[in-house]
Amino acid sequence: MQKNGQAAAFYDLEGTLLSTNLVHTLAFYARRQQGLFKTIKKSVGTFAKLPLFGATDLYSRNVFNEFFFKSYAGESEDRLRYFSEELFEEVLKPAIFDGTPELIAQSKKIGQRQIVITGALDFTIDKLMNHLGIDDYAANRLEFVNGYATGRILPPIMASATKAKWMREYAERENINLSESYAYSDSISDLPMLSIVGHPVAINPDFRLKQTATQHDWAILDLK
Amino acid sequence: MALQLRRKTHESIIYIDKDSAPRIMPFGEDFILEDIPVGTRVIYPNPPIKGLPNREAAIRYAVNHPIDAKPLYAQLEPGMRVTIAMDDISLPLPPMQTPDLRQTMLEVVLDMCAANGVDDVHLIIANSLHRKMTAWEMERMVGSTIFNEFYPDRFYNHDAEDDENLIKIGETRHDEPLRVNKRAIESDILIYLNLNLVPMDGGHKSVAVGLCDYESLRQHHEPQTIRDSDSYMDPPKSALNHKVIKLGKLVDEHCNVFHVETAINNRMFPEGYDILTRNEDEFSFMDRMKWETMKRTFGNLPRGARRKLLHKIPAQYELIGCFAGETEKVHEKILELNYRQYEIPVKGQCDILISGIPDISPYNVYSALNPILVQVMALGYHFNMYRNKPLLRKGGVMIITHPCFDEFDPKFHPSYIEFFHRLLPESRDAFYLREKYEREFAENPAYVEMYRRGNAYHGAHAFFMWYWGENGRQHVGKLIVAGAENAHVPAILGWERADNLTEAIAMARSYMGRNAEITMLHQPMIGLCNVSD
């Protein structure tokens, strides 16, 4: 950790700065398959897997990620990238919390670098990052072979402790002072990334994170 | 001897003798009964001045017969842009029974606006860096009819971080900037509805402080200004007041302010609880029954429930005067009434000052009185309620009674938690804290958002609360907390602790001598001691 570097603001994305989660994105792509039959099949399949997604997420964010992204297997890279703009306009942009732009603006006002660390897929959030004025981001990357997704995620998988590890390495590389930095998340799974900065903040927290934040006197924000 | 001691020098001052009853003292959300040493001078609040029989008529008369200004109706024209600003929930204390005085003032003024064809009216709560009031609190303050008509588009809290809706109107000759609420200052007329509880309130402070931003506020809410205020409850001797007047004159250059000020009596509690402000020696059988009932009720409730119960008891304040017109002239009239209600002539300072800390402060309405607020009540408000000279001799001992629990409300006072646990263990020096940390807290994005979107006090507010106790801290030799339930809160605040009042008095006497003069402020009270030699 650098002692005198710049301060930064590290944000989790979904549930923290916007109301959507990974399933909304998957459902968006499911509705945009080639042909009506494939669209219905994919949409119904996604809907049917919802309880399983929920259960694996409760068990472990890493297990969830491995299982969840398999749903993208067989999707063409061109198609995924082509619809990413529509995804931003129709799904992500309307889901930005009212308080998100204010929070980022205040953070920028005091000279903090803006960084998002998310389990979402990189190509799905590129436009969103520009829109929010984020300086850097780390997201999950799908593996593509011959232009088609294999359903695997290229390491490192951005979740839990991996986010904290990435932050430490980033801070070392970019001369960021973590003691002066802020981290924002809505989920207890991000406890590692919240724990390594001087100013952890819970945003719209789940029950367990709210308990943790209260016990540790962390600020609790509602951006809705 | 006893007879001589018992002789009253003023109706609000009594001396404890061998036959005196024990005294009721606040102890946070509870009340305790304590035997006070013989010879102790106990100061009670003055009896309430009789309220005006028709407050609506009094307010209407004031706005129709203003001081150094045209009557309000003569200033209103169709198509005008009017803003009505009013004090926030920090006044009065405890919150008064409904209808709140602000509701009555608003009813009079809004009627007048409507009658004169003024449609463009906004109601703004001048909360400055205080927490924003909740919708429920706002409705309680103005009544449901006005609330339903104006909320939320035309009835809202001032936002000291909303750059788009703030405007810098200038600087004083000492380079103190003033940035205020744009809507208010750009209105054709700004009507301020004030409810004056203590002499520190009202006057130019209403607009220049209530509607300003952080940069403007930090120019006078700082340790040196507070040190130079002797005291801030005595406006002519308050450096804080002098600075605010300069800013107020700037406001007057840019805006047509029509000030409506009210003074209230000190009928703090409804019947049943009124025994808390009365001389225990004069209790009747019924009064003792009331006390026993109250004590048993409170004694059987957990702290949270006691707090809720206390916060549900509305004050019974009554209007004793209303004036309108030019800010300074109006304020002078209101101060006269304040002094008439609150001033208690006291002969001689004391060596040991005892003051119970009740769960009543401007900053914990509907939440906990956290350690920083206990500090501000003791060294800020209770210490500063004097004119001429402090009630406590320089270097004397102050004894307070409070559990000093380590409890903060994370929604209302988030920055206080960090201030108390992170900063105070490093230093209690107000100048050092201001220099090193105040801006960091003020600009903390999480605190800013919690202030803007939630109901949190501004990030810098914890610092202001610390500065607020600065002249008390410089003056008091030692502060002992009787009944503190832990050791670390008094230690962090730089105080000593004792298990009970008897032990605290023994400790104080060991510092000040066996013949130390003891005075007790019979809290809860609003009283201004005019101390002479």
Query: How large a percentage of chain B has pLDDT more than 70?
Result: 98
Give the model's pLDDT for residue B476: 98
Which residues are CB-neighbours of B421 under 8 A, at least 6 positions away? A217, B492
Would you state the structure tokens that stand for residue B482, as one six-digit string?
């009787």
Which residues are CB-neighbours of A99 under 8 A, at least 6 positions away? A221, A222, A223, A224, B449, B452, B453
Residues of chain A neighbouring B453 (CB-CB closer than 8 A): 98-99, 102, 221-223
- Check A221 against B417: CB less than 8 A apart: no
Nearest CA in chain A to B418: A217
pLDDT in tens, B356-411: 999 999 999 999 999 999 999 999 999 999 999 999 999 999 999 999 999 999 99
Task: Map tokens 């909303």 to a residue.
Answer: B162
CA distance A63 to chain B (A): 32
pLDDT in tens, A12-35: 999 999 999 887 887 887 777 777
Would you state the structure tokens that stand for residue B358, as one six-digit string?
């009740």
Name the DSSP class of B397. Answer: E
CA-angle at B374, arms to B368 and B379, nearest 5°: 155
Q: What band does A3 get if pLDDT is binned at 50, 70 and 90? A: low
Would you state the structure tokens that stand for residue A128, as one six-digit string?
């969103």
Task: Map tokens 């990189």 to a residue.
Answer: A122
pTM of the model: 0.92
Task: Map tokens 């003798």 to a residue.
Answer: B17
Name residue B379's amino acid.
L
pLDDT in tens, B487-503: 999 999 999 999 999 99
Query: Which residue out of B215, B370, B453, B457 would a mutagenesis test of the A interface target, given it has the greatest number of A Cβ atoms within 10 Å?
Result: B453
How deeply is B388 buried, as exposed, middle or buried, from its count of CB atoms within 10 A (0-12, 13-18, 19+)? Answer: middle
Give the model's pLDDT for residue A58: 72
Nearest CA in chain A to B407: A217
Q: Which residues pair with A201 in a beta bridge?
A: A184, A219
Which residues are CB-neighbours of A44 under 8 A, at least 6 positions away? none
Q: Which residues pair with A10 in a beta bridge?
A: A115, A183
The answer to whether residues A3 and A101 touch, using CB atoms and an 8 Å cutoff, is no
Of B414, B421, B448, the CB nearest to A106: B448
Q: Where are the domains of chain A?
A: 8-221
CA distance A159 to chain B (A): 23
On whether any CB of chain B is under 8 Å from the CB of A215, the answer is no
- Check A223 against B453: CB less than 8 A apart: yes
- Check A109 against B443: CB less than 8 A apart: yes
- Check B449 against A217: CB less than 8 A apart: no
Query: Which residue out of A109, A203, A221, A222 would a mutagenesis test of the B interface target, given it has the greatest number of B Cβ atoms within 10 Å?
Result: A221
State the Cα–Cα distance between residues A136 and A9, nearest whole angstrom: 10
State the Cα–Cα distance between residues A163 and B16, nearest whole angstrom: 67
Nearest CA in chain A to B414: A219
Q: Which CATH number fits domain A8-221: 3.40.50.970, 3.40.50.300, 3.40.50.1000, 1.20.58.1610?
A: 3.40.50.1000
Burial track B451-467 (b if 16+ CB lie within 10 A, e otherwise): bbbbbbbbbbbbbbbbb
Residues of chain A neighbouring B368 (CB-CB closer than 8 A): none
State the Cα–Cα distance between residues B313 and B316, nearest whole angstrom: 9
Mean pLDDT over residues A97-107, rounded? Answer: 96
- Check B450 against A214: CB less than 8 A apart: no
Report residue B125 CA to chain centroid gap: 16
CA-angle at B139, arms to B138 and B143, nearest 5°: 125
Give the model's pLDDT for residue A54: 76
- Check A219 against B453: CB less than 8 A apart: no
- Check A106 against B408: CB less than 8 A apart: no
- Check B445 against A110: CB less than 8 A apart: yes
Out of A78-87, A113-122, B252-261, pick the least confident: A78-87
CA distance A136 to chain B (A): 19
pLDDT over threshold 70, residue B1: no
Of A182, A214, A217, the CB nearest to B445: A182
CA distance B244 to chain A (A): 28
- Check A217 against B444: CB less than 8 A apart: no
pLDDT over threshold 50, residue B3: no
pLDDT over threshold 50, residue B289: yes
On whether any CB of chain B is under 8 Å from the CB of A110, the answer is yes
pLDDT in tens, A29-54: 777 777 777 777 777 777 777 777 77
State the Cα–Cα distance between residues B57 and B414, nearest whole angstrom: 43
Which residues are CB-neighbours of B131 under 8 A, at least 6 positions away? B412, B451, B455, B456, B457
CATH 1.10.645.10 fits B55-264, yes or no: no
| Beta-sheet strands, E only, within B16-130 | 23-28, 30-34, 41-43, 81-86, 120-125
pLDDT over threshold 90, residue A210: yes
The answer to whether residues B217 and B247 touch, using CB atoms and an 8 Å cutoff, is no
The answer to whether residues A187 and A206 touch, using CB atoms and an 8 Å cutoff, is yes
Of B411, B421, B449, the CB nearest to A102: B449
CATH fold group of domain B2-39+348-532: 2-enoyl-CoA Hydratase; Chain A, domain 1 (3.90.226)
CA distance A221 to chain B (A): 6
CA distance A98 to chain B (A): 10
The answer to whether residues A26 and A46 touch, using CB atoms and an 8 Å cutoff, is yes
Mean pLDDT over residues A187-210, rounded? Answer: 95
SS3 of chain A: helix, strand, coil, percent, to 5 = 55, 20, 25
How deeply is A91 buried, as exposed, middle or buried, from its count of CB atoms within 10 A (0-12, 13-18, 19+)? Answer: middle
| Beta-sheet strands, E only, within chain A | 8-11, 113-121, 136-145, 148-154, 182-185, 199-203, 219-221
Q: Which residues pair with B258 in a beta bridge?
A: B191
Q: Where are the domains of chain B?
A: 2-39+348-532, 55-264
Element (H, E) at A131: helix A122-132
Count A/B contacts: CB-CB distance under 8 Å: 53
Quote the mean pLDDT of chain B: 96
CA distance A144 to chain B (A): 39
Give the model's pLDDT for residue A39: 74
Residues of chain B neighbouring A109 (CB-CB closer than 8 A): 443
Residues of chain A neighbouring B421 (CB-CB closer than 8 A): 217
Q: What band does A102 get if pLDDT is binned at 50, 70 and 90? A: very high
Q: What band does A176 get if pLDDT is binned at 50, 70 and 90? A: very high
Number of CB atoms found within 10 A of residue B494's CB? 12
Q: What band does B466 get if pLDDT is binned at 50, 70 and 90? A: very high
- Check B446 against A221: CB less than 8 A apart: yes
Residues of chain B neighbouring A16 (CB-CB closer than 8 A): none
